[in-house]
């Protein structure tokens, strides 16, 4: 570990948190309908779609609209992937996907997960990438942010019957936030060397008298929304490790910034919406502290290198297996930690080959429930669940009815919050356990020993938490994992989001009580550390036994010289 | 209730698909092809009218006259097919340890005894890594110079000239692009 490496992490945090404040204020203006510079386009969408923008929805209506749109969009993508052979813009004549792979991929992109059981260069046409995947990258991100807007509104005033209009939130977030930022980001990426062309391959006669085929395509636009919308689905198999997705250390820093910035801006947005900015800053601080610890931890582990390889005779300057020369160790680990602390799941280096502890941190950040800062929108509403649990725990200690921002938190909300948390845990642990006792699951593993357990546990954590990154040695295109992980992604997204919208509806209807001397303050360091404690204990502790058998066991075996 | 939502939900899916999936990529790709054609088409390097590679993508060099790139996990033909990817072997993998030991043996045989730069014995993430570390390049330079019957100093001068350094020691690494380096060597006047 070097000072320069730590400075890199500090620089990234300064750039992200610095931008999160103005961006958070801008997003609040979008949610409140004060941003209008594309008003004619926005109004055109409403008119053509028959959206009554004055109609505000109850939580049930909001949830139904969101689910229905997601189901329709899922169906469209499934059909497109099955039929891509017959559809336009398929210069390499790539065949349609099998039913199970199309189901897995459609579930993956409809839920903002972007788990990739397919190989992009060989199993999907440029047309399906652009017309299918990229549109989902925008819409699933916008849907998550819309749900966050609905949850925020529940705290803005007392006795609210409705929490906003889903279609209006979706349209505004897409037009005023995701679209312009993606366009600027994509242009910068092209300047740096990310391709944007309709060709799908280039033939090269190499210097050493050989041939080379370069996969190419409209990668820049996908790369921009892939990071900004915490999607993570790479245009190429090597994801952001591919030089065409991530040409140099500057683009690597920029992409890391892009995937973090909305996640950290949303708590600031919340502060503006509830007219109490300190509330937003407290949530942001809890997110940032956990993520910063993760960044430093993973960097330290990778910088220490692989003791077995060092003993074999390589220089001791870090674990370079699966990492790209142009980024270096700290920028590689920070990218992967940021992409798992958000639900992006993009990688610029391959976590399967990380040292055991270096790879355990990304896995643990996913298991915490994706709140550091989590997926766009989903990270925000998940940390609200933890904030409610934190005030509940504090209320139990002092024997008062807990309240958050003047809203009484009662049995109904806590039951729904715990339901959400337990659904995720159930899927991750039982899914991994079931897979590892079936012959099919075991034959999917690339690596043996405790690392094999880590591979499967990582896959179920990633799918259920809608992250999408992988210990990529795992063979994921099998009936068990295509259907199992596909179901985990759908449940992890919607079976979690709906209880939260229900909580929002329930809290919205309650009166907003003025703070009294007995109110537990939810802004200072005491609350921030209580919140961090609740996230780690409630979100993380249940995974400790499994994680001990995987990465932690592997760590000690690595240092005793054991191989598998 | 569901029927009432059907029209807006379905219409927005169609509208956004057309807008974000067709209009936007068409317009953006067109604009990039017009304004930044070299980058938008893969940063290709041509020589005598033939495309000989991309500035961003590594190539395989097996001749002793050339600097060799990082090992690639892509098989059977590294750096040639239109695929990308890593070995994904675990830190405790016996197969990985054997492979690394084999690479160390081959490297010290070709370039002399001594510690082997970590990037020369490990596979990259993409399998297409265009760069090697500066240490790795300088370690290879004497053998490349010998194969080309050039003084070592003129080869290391090319390495130094093309070397890229970490910005303020923070962003990036000290490295050199192998294709650029080998191309520059081919253009050196013969001695």
ipTM of this complex: 0.97
- The C-alpha of A91 sits at a distance from chain B's nearest C-alpha, in angstroms, of 14
d(CA A493, CA A424): 9
pLDDT digits (tens, 9 = 90+) for A133-172: 999 999 999 999 999 999 999 999 999 999 999 999 999 9
Which positions ≥6 away from B36 have C-beta within 8 Å? A190, A191
Which H helix or E strand runs over A403?
strand A403-404
CA A19, A244, B175: angle at the middle one, nearest 5? 85
Instruction: Establish if A539 belongs to a structural domain.
Output: yes
d(CA A454, CA A440): 16
Instruction: Establish if A257 belongs to a structural domain.
Output: no
Closest CA to A264 of A436, A505, A512, A17: A17
Contact B60 A210 (CB under 8 A): yes
Please report the pLDDT score of residue A366 as a whole number.
Answer: 97
Per the DSSP assignment, residues forming a β-bridge with A213 are A203
Domain assignment of residue A383, given as a range: 378-550
Choose, out of B28, B55, B76, B86, the residue to mutate when testing the contact with A (most A CBs < 10 Å).
Answer: B86
Please report the pLDDT score of residue B191 as a whole number.
Answer: 58
CB atoms within 10 A of CB B22: 14
Distance between first and last Cα of chain B: 84
Minimal Cβ distance to B42: which of A76, A202, A558: A202
Residue A401, sorted as left (phi over 0), alpha (psi -120 to 50) or beta, turns out to be beta
Q: Residue A503 — pLDDT band, cuts 50, 70, 90?
A: very high
Nearest CA in chain A to B63: A208
With 0-12 / 13-18 / 19 or more C-beta atoms within 10 angstroms meaning exposed / middle / buried, residue A436 is middle
Q: How far is CA A244 from the centre of its chain?
A: 22
pLDDT digits (tens, 9 = 90+) for A298-329: 999 999 999 999 999 999 999 999 999 999 99
Contact A353 B87 (CB under 8 A): yes
Nearest CA in chain A to B30: A197
d(CA A280, CA A275): 10
Strands A403-404 and A211-215, how do they pair? Answer: unpaired
Contact B90 A320 (CB under 8 A): no
Instruction: Establish if A434 belongs to a structural domain.
Output: yes
Contact B52 A248 (CB under 8 A): no
Give the Å distances, CA to CA, from B152 to A390, A495, B103, B116, B145. Answer: 66, 66, 24, 20, 5
Minimal Cβ distance to A49: which of B12, B50, B171: B12
- Per CB-CB distance under 8 Å, the chain B contacts of A186 are 28
Instruction: Establish if A414 belongs to a structural domain.
Output: yes
Instruction: Establish if A430 belongs to a structural domain.
Output: yes
Closest CA to B99 of B121, B84, B83, B130: B121
d(CA A266, CA B37): 37
Please report the pLDDT score of residue A209 as a whole number.
Answer: 78
The average pLDDT across A349-372 equals 97
Closest CA to A371 of A480, A465, A242: A465
Which positions ≥6 away from B152 have C-beta within 8 Å? B141, B142, B145, B146
Instruction: Establish if A416 belongs to a structural domain.
Output: yes
Q: Print pLDDT tens along chain B (191 aa).
A: 778 899 999 999 999 999 999 999 999 999 999 999 999 999 999 988 899 999 999 999 999 999 999 999 998 889 988 899 999 999 999 999 999 999 999 999 999 998 899 999 999 999 999 999 999 999 999 999 999 999 999 999 999 999 999 999 999 999 999 999 999 999 987 65
- Per CB-CB distance under 8 Å, the chain A contacts of B113 are none
Name the domain count of chain A. 1
Q: Residue A400 — pLDDT band, cuts 50, 70, 90?
A: confident
User: DSSP H helical segments within A134-245, as ranges?
Assistant: 135-153, 166-173, 179-192, 219-228
Minimal Cβ distance to B88: which of A76, A195, A350: A350
CB A4 within 8 A of CB A252: no
- The C-alpha of A378 sits at a distance from chain B's nearest C-alpha, in angstroms, of 21
Which positions ≥6 away from B78 have C-beta within 8 Å? B60, B71, B72, B127
Q: What pTM was estimated for this model as a whole?
A: 0.97
């Amino acid at each position: 570990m070097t000072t320069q490496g730590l400075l890199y992490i500090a620089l990234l945090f300064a750039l992200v948190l610095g931008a999160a404040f103005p961006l958070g204020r801008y997003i609040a203006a979008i949610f409140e309908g004060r941003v209008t510079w594309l008003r004619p386009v926005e109004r055109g969408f409403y008119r053509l779609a028959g959206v009554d923008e004055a109609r505000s929805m109850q939580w049930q209506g909001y949830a139904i609209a969101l689910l229905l749109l997601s189901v329709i969009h899922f169906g469209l993508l499934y059909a497109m992937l099955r039929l891509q052979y017959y559809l336009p813009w398929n210069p390499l004549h790539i065949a349609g996907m099998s039913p199970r792979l199309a189901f897995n991929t459609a579930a993956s992109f409809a839920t903002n997960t972007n788990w990739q059981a397919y190989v992009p260069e060989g199993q999907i046409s440029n047309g399906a990438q652009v017309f299918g995947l990229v549109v989902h990258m925008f819409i699933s991100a916008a849907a998550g942010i819309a749900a966050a807007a609905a949850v925020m509104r529940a705290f803005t005033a007392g006795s609210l019957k409705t929490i906003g209009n889903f279609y209006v939130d979706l349209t505004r977030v897409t037009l005023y936030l995701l679209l312009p930022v993606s366009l600027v980001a994509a242009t910068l990426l092209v300047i740096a060397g990310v391709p944007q062309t309709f060709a799908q391959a280039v033939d090269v006669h190499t210097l050493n008298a050989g041939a080379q085929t370069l996969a190419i395509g409209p990668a820049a636009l996908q790369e921009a929304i892939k990071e900004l919308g915490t999607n993570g689905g790479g245009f190429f198999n090597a994801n952001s490790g591919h030089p065409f997705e991530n040409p140099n250390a500057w683009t690597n820093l920029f992409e890391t910034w892009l995937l973090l910035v909305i996640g950290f801006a949303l708590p600031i947005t919340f502060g503006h919406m509830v007219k109490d900015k300190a509330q937003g800053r407290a949530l942001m601080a809890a997110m940032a502290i956990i993520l910063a610890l993760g960044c430093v931890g993973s960097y330290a582990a990778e910088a220490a290198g692989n003791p077995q390889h060092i003993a074999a005779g390589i220089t001791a300057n870090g674990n370079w297996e699966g990492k790209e020369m142009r980024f270096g160790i700290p920028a590689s680990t920070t990218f992967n930690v940021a992409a798992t602390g958000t639900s992006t799941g993009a990688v610029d280096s391959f976590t399967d080959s990380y040292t055991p502890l270096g790879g355990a941190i990304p896995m643990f950040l996913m298991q915490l429930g994706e709140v550091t800062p989590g997926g766009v929108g989903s990270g925000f509403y998940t940390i609200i669940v933890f904030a409610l649990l934190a005030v509940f725990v504090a209320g139990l200690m002092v024997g008062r009815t807990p309240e958050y921002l003047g809203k009484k938190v009662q049995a109904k909300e806590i039951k729904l919050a715990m339901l959400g948390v337990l659904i995720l845990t159930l899927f991750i642990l039982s899914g991994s356990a079931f897979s590892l006792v079936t012959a099919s699951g075991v034959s999917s593993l690339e690596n043996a020993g405790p690392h094999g357990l880590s591979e499967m546990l990582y896959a179920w954590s990633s799918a259920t938490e809608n992250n999408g990154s992988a210990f990529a040695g795992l063979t994921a295109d099998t009936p068990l994992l295509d259907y199992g992980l596909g179901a985990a992604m759908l449940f992890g997204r919607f079976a979690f989001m709906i209880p939260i919208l229900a909580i929002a509806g329930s809290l919205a209807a309650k009166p907003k009580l003025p703070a009294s001397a007995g109110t537990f303050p939810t802004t200072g360091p005491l609350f921030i550390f209580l919140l961090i404690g609740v996230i780690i204990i409630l979100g993380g502790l249940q995974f400790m036994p499994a994680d001990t058998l995987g990465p932690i066991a592997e760590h000690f075996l690595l240092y005793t010289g054991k191989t598998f | 209730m569901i029927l009432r939502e059907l029209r807006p939900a379905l219409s927005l899916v169609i509208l956004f698909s057309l807008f974000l999936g067709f209009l936007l990529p068409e317009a953006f790709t067109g604009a990039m092809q017009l304004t930044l054609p070299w980058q938008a088409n893969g940063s290709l390097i041509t020589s005598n009218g033939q495309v000989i590679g991309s500035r961003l993508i590594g190539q395989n060099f097996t001749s002793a006259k050339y600097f060799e790139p990082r090992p690639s996990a892509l098989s059977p033909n590294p750096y040639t097919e239109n695929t990308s990817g890593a070995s994904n072997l675990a830190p405790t993998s016996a197969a990985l340890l054997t492979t690394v030991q084999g690479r160390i043996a081959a490297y010290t045989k070709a370039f002399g005894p001594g510690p082997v730069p970590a990037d020369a014995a490990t596979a990259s993430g993409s399998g297409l890594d265009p760069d090697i570390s500066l240490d790795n390049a300088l370690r290879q330079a004497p053998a490349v110079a010998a194969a080309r019957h050039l003084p070592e100093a003129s080869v290391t001068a090319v390495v130094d000239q093309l070397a890229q350094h970490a910005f303020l020691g923070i962003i990036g690494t000290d490295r050199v692009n192998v294709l650029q380096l080998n191309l520059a060597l081919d253009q050196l006047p013969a001695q």
